[in-house]
Amino acid sequence: MLLLRSLLYVPGSNPRALSKAPTLGADGLLLDLEDSVAPEAKETAREALVEFLRQPPPGLWLGVRLNALDSPWWEADLEAIVPARPHALCLPKISHPEELTPLLQRLEALESAHGIAPPLAPPLPLLPMIETPRGVIHAHDIARQPRVMGLAAGVNDLAKGLRLRRTGGDRQPLRHALQQLVLAARAAERMVFDGVYNQVRDEAGCAAECDEAAWLGFDGKTLIHPSQIAPANRAFLPSAEEAEGAQRLVEGWRAAQAAGREVCLVDGTLVERLHVTAAERLLALRVQALEA
């Protein structure tokens, strides 16, 4: 089970941020070559990320966000980053599965040329970002494509594409699209990550949005500031109370099964095998998070 509660964006053009990011407590970093890097800094940012990936921090998941596939930079990004072998490539503004075809073809050629293609090495996973209404409509087909490990919501561009008049921290107008992404990812048996929270000084608002994302079924959240790491890690970690309830549920059902029954009551609630599977996953997630 891959634990990625908090994915912090780190600009590839910011040496200080790159050096500090591994110490901040995020489950993973999204090393960025796209929006946070000015056009004139793209080349030096690539070089910095390649150097960073040569000696990766132990135990930390590292993804790289390439420039968009309709930009003039993505092929140079790919050529530089693929030999450095991050854990995944994050792909912005994917709206249809066919958009992945040129990248997949180029990726396979690069891996073969560098001797890192299967079976010598596992395929490099992809994390498409869904940032347009069209992307939401095609999210399931995108999630099912080769190498795709999950989906990430790009809420700012999505809100713009939907012409939303967003006020404060209310995401109600986005709720349907967010739930569509969770539904698409789960139908394809993939992970799914919520988008960023823009108000970096609003810790209470960030915590509330992280709680909402966990409630909606996301695996974790993409972040833009170190202060958002702790709220995300808390929100996507099952609480001690939840773990205790899950443990009682598992033990009660096992006792019933030993007595020849497939259903039982635990704390007044009907329990079947499917509830036990969910409870066991919750317990495993908590153990993994506490050991991280």
Domain identity same for 131 and 16: yes
| % of the chain at pLDDT higher than 70 | 98
Domain identity same for 16 and 132: yes
CATH number, residue 75: 3.20.20.60
Domain identity same for 172 and 251: no
Orientation of helix 42-54 relative to helix 74-81, angle to 10°: 20
Question: Quick check: 171 pLDDT over 80?
Answer: yes
The pLDDT of residue 168 is 60
Residue 171 covered by a domain? yes
Domain identity same for 254 and 109: no
Residue 271 amino acid letter: V
Residue 161 amino acid letter: G
Domain count, the chain: 2
The pLDDT of residue 245 is 81
Alpha-carbon distance values, 271 to 252, 264, 268 (Å): 9, 5, 9
Alpha-carbon distance of 236 to 1, in angstroms, equals 14
Where do runs of H (alpha helix) occur along the chain? 15-20, 42-54, 74-81, 101-113, 133-137, 139-143, 155-161, 175-187, 203-216, 229-235, 240-258, 273-291
Nearest to 77 by CA among 114, 113, 37: 37
Question: Quick check: 29 pLDDT over 90?
Answer: yes
pLDDT tens profile 50-90: 999 999 999 899 999 999 999 999 999 999 999 999 999 99
Alpha-carbon distance of 67 to 77, in angstroms, equals 7
Tokens 């110490």 belong to: 23
Domain identity same for 202 and 275: no
DSSP state of 117: -
Domain identity same for 78 and 91: yes
- CB-based contact 235:213 (threshold 8 Å): yes
Q: What is the mean pLDDT of the segment spanning 116-142?
A: 94
> Is 11 in a helix, a strand, or coil?
strand
- CB-based contact 194:220 (threshold 8 Å): yes
Q: How far apart are the first and last CA of the chain?
A: 12
| Domain carrying residue 262 | 240-291
The pLDDT of residue 56 is 94
- CB-based contact 221:232 (threshold 8 Å): yes
Domain identity same for 94 and 168: yes
Alpha-carbon distance of 229 to 223, in angstroms, equals 7
The torsion defined by the Cα of 223, 224, 226 and 232, in degrees rounded to 10, comes to -20
- Number of other residues whose CB lies within 10 A of the CB of residue 237: 19
The pLDDT of residue 119 is 81
What's the predicted TM-score (pTM) here?
A: 0.90
The pLDDT of residue 111 is 94
Structure token digits, residue 94:
């994917």
The pLDDT of residue 169 is 66
The DSSP H or E segment spanning 231 is helix 229-235
Structure token digits, residue 259:
């007595």
Domain identity same for 61 and 99: yes
Alpha-carbon distance of 13 to 192, in angstroms, equals 27
Domain identity same for 228 and 269: no
